[in-house]
Amino acid sequence: MAVKKLLVLLIVLLAVAAFFVFDGQQYLSLAQFRGWVASEPLLTAGLYFLIYVVVTGLSLPGAAIMTLIGGAVFGLWWGLLLVSFASSVGATLAFMVSRTLLRDWVQGKFGAYLQTINRGVEKDGAFYLFSLRLIPIIPFFVINLVFGLTPIRTWTFYWVSQVGMLAGTFVYVNAGAELGAVEELSASGILTPGIIGAFLLLAAFPFLARALVARVRHHQLYKDYPKPRTFDNNMVVIGAGSAGLVSALIAATVKAKVVLVEKHRMGGDCLNTGCVPSKALIRSAKINHYIERAGQFGIKAGSAEVDFAAVMERVQRVIKQIEPHDSVERYTDMGVECVAGEARVLSPYAVQVGERVITTRNIVLASGARPFVPPIPGIEETGYLTSDTLWQLRQRPERLLVMGAGPIGCELAQSFGRLGSKVTVVDMAARIMPREDEDVSACVAKAFAREGIEVLVGHKSVAFRRRGERRIAEFDCAGERVEIAFDQLLVAVGRKANVEQMGLEELGIVTTAQGTLEVDEYLRTRYPNIYACGDVTGPYQFTHMASHQAWFAAVNALFGRFKKFKVDYSVVPWATFTDPEVGRVGLNETDARQQGIDYEVTVYGIDDLDRAIADDEARGFVKVLTRPGSDKILGATIVGYHAGELIVEFITAMKHGIGLNKILATIHIYPTLSEANKYAAGVWKKARAPRGVLAWVERYHSWQR
């Protein structure tokens, strides 16, 4: 194999060297070819064919010029015949050279194209190659080289290239033929209707080809689903969580007829089992924690008694109080038809709920996600709780084992710990909250240690079992078996998109490696009139991101024929409501390093902040990443008291291009926690103070004295 590669490399190098040493470009001139055609037409055609194959096979510059020359010298039809076969043969040679020899070089040079093309080949096979040949988005020589690294067969590559390039070849050869017919180089000689028309066709071809491919693709996609002459609705939204509610609200606001389908409860996870109940629980736990800390504030208080059942009833009261915001009555009043039941997508134009079939011009999939429970031996037999089911508890678990140290696991672990449970948090990662920087994780872990929460990282779950009345969890830590006894197990290792039993597989709507629905930058699935938003598609499973995506999904669905909007992920914030809280937007140091982005970091310690000291909450920090030599903010992380509120200033700054200089120049009320942001900007500014200028200013002031 090595000898074969060396031989191919030697031939390629010799051919390229010969082309330049012997001034191969001189043979690409129109005058040269015209002279040869007159005396030796067959020999010239053969020589032209051979040169064209070599140029394209070696990915040399000049293919476009040679195509024009082919039309000018041989005329439209003979030129088309020669160029069509020569370009396809040359492209296939380049494809084979790439597959045999240049794998590493092509991977390094055109790796960005490779991932996109691999996905296209996987999804649409030969038709994807045909589309690329017809629409010159990616340079043809790149297509030749990159496709050599894909699993597509050589014969398929050849014939699809032959057919796909035919239309574009015709346009170029025709332009060359019109130029070849020019008898005098004057304005009147060049600006003939034929030449003007040929070059207008040349300019318009990419747009015409794109429209043709879109039409063919649309026909292929929808051929089994006849379009109704009329529709019952403009939009059907499946799922009444944050994404579904906002999508339906936008549609109703712009007077579209919309149906919202929900099989469980309006408001989805956020209202019923997620954000709202967890924050209500966190608040009760924090009040108990403040009572325990009363002595720090000079208040003598006896120990509080936690009525766990009353705490959980309060959580339900909070849900009931907020429930009307997401109720059927409210959305019905706003013009949304709310339908209870399980939705099944029958076609791109029809959704079935029970016995009813609803026709619609657009569908928005907003079915959300659910807690993921890994298939660990014995877990079903011993029993477990998730963030969906723990709200049914009315008796506090004495020993709570939390599996998963992400945001959900950490928030609930601390809450139960503060309410009196003995909590152990276990995760297979090297630290808690692994998506955050190490100093962030360390700060939260230190708080957990102070509060008696045991944290075990680097522990992989092996099995769960019962031993008499006891429940036992078994973990592997660096080859050693660790056993933990528990009363209740809370599984918080991630969430899984709800994509099953909706008819999506039958329609060929695919999922990503993460199990979420695959969508494009406009949130369209493989069917341009079926959109997906929220947790079911990701990539960020936050309530506020679901609402953000919902705007793009609804507007693109209703008005996409006039103007489409790419979903904006440029400034994505989130918060973890532990104590201390963690608020973040944009890049952190871990992300910046992984993405190879240069940055400067500025840190301000909240232990220095007057208001935090007065509130006895002087812990944590503000960390800001900026571009080197600039005050442009790449990202910010705040760890501390009310970090989720404080981060908003940096979210606004990043969204509107405001740098640290302007934050520093903004008046912040004293004494408030928000001054931490101003002081962080001050630390950044101080580190960049002009030392030389200040030295001269100091001399000036000395002279003035």
Rounded average pLDDT over 57-80: 75
Between 593 and 3, the more confident residue is 593
CA distance 128 to 135: 11
pLDDT in tens, 317-358: 999 999 999 999 999 999 999 999 999 999 999 999 999 999
pLDDT at 165: 74
Q: How far is CA 436 from CA 133, 582, 586, 588, in A?
A: 44, 9, 12, 7
Rounded average pLDDT over 639-645: 97
Closest by CA position to 137, among listed 183, 101, 168, 93: 168
pLDDT at 675: 97
Between 133 and 312, the more confident residue is 312
pLDDT at 113: 63
462-479 as b/e: b if 16+ CB within 10 A? ebbeeeeeebbbbbeeee
pLDDT at 60: 72
**197 φ/ψ angles, rounded to the nearest 5 degrees:** -65, -40
State the distance between the two ends of the chain, measured CA to CA, in whole angstroms: 84
CA distance 105 to 693: 50
CA distance 85 to 686: 67
pLDDT at 361: 95
Rounded average pLDDT over 264-271: 92
- In the sheet with 470-477, reading across from the earlier edge strand, the strands are 460-467, 470-477, 480-486
Report which DSSP code applies to 437.
Answer: -
Q: How far is CA 704 from CA 505, 585, 690, 692, in A?
A: 82, 47, 21, 19
Please report the domains of the chain, with CATH numbers, ordered by start residue: 2-220 (no CATH), 233-370+497-559 (3.50.50.60), 379-494 (3.50.50.60), 573-691 (3.30.390.30)
**pLDDT for residue 477 is more than 90:** yes
Residue-averaged pLDDT of the chain: 86
Share of the chain above pLDDT 70, in %: 84
CB atoms closer than 10 angstroms to residue 298: 6
Rounded average pLDDT over 429-438: 95
pLDDT at 288: 94
pLDDT at 1: 47
CB neighbour list of residue 420: distance below 8 Å, 6 or more residues apart: 306, 308, 396
CA distance 211 to 128: 15
pLDDT grade for 496, boundaries at 50, 70 and 90: very high
**pLDDT for residue 185 is more than 50:** no
Residue given tokens 């009139």 in the structure block: 529
**pLDDT for residue 163 is more than 60:** yes
- For 359, the enclosing helix (H) or strand (E) is strand 356-365
pLDDT grade for 186, boundaries at 50, 70 and 90: very low
pLDDT in tens, 672-702: 999 999 999 999 999 987 777 878 877 888 8
pLDDT at 678: 97
How does DSSP assign 473-511, residue by residue? EEEEETTEEEEEEESEEEE-S-EEE--TTSSTTTTT--B
pLDDT at 124: 66
CA distance 587 to 626: 10
pLDDT at 190: 45
Helix locations, 30-182, DSSP H: 30-39, 41-57, 63-100, 103-124, 126-134, 140-147, 154-164, 166-180
pLDDT grade for 134, boundaries at 50, 70 and 90: low
**pLDDT for residue 524 is more than 80:** yes
pLDDT at 338: 96
Global pTM reads: 0.78
Question: What SS3 state is found at 448?
Answer: helix
CB neighbour list of residue 259: distance below 8 Å, 6 or more residues apart: 232, 233, 235, 236, 237, 336, 337, 338, 339, 351, 358, 360
In this structure, of 309-313, 420-424, 510-514, 615-619, the range with the lowest mean pLDDT score is 510-514
Radius of gyration (C-alpha) of the chain in whole angstroms: 33
**pLDDT for residue 545 is more than 60:** yes
pLDDT at 704: 82
Length of the chain: 705
**pLDDT for residue 376 is more than 70:** yes
Rounded average pLDDT over 236-248: 96
In this structure, of 177-181, 256-260, 483-487, the range with the lowest mean pLDDT score is 177-181
CA distance 260 to 547: 15
pLDDT at 105: 66
CA distance 438 to 440: 5
Residue given tokens 């960005």 in the structure block: 112
How does DSSP assign 159-182, residue by residue? HHHHHHTHHHHHHHHHHHHHHHT-
In this structure, of 158-172, 505-519, 567-581, the range with the lowest mean pLDDT score is 158-172
In this structure, of 32-41, 258-267, 472-481, the range with the lowest mean pLDDT score is 32-41
pLDDT grade for 424, boundaries at 50, 70 and 90: very high
Residue type, position 209, single letter: A
Report which DSSP code applies to 299.
Answer: -
CA distance 545 to 246: 11
pLDDT at 431: 95
pLDDT grade for 31, boundaries at 50, 70 and 90: low
**pLDDT for residue 191 is more than 60:** no
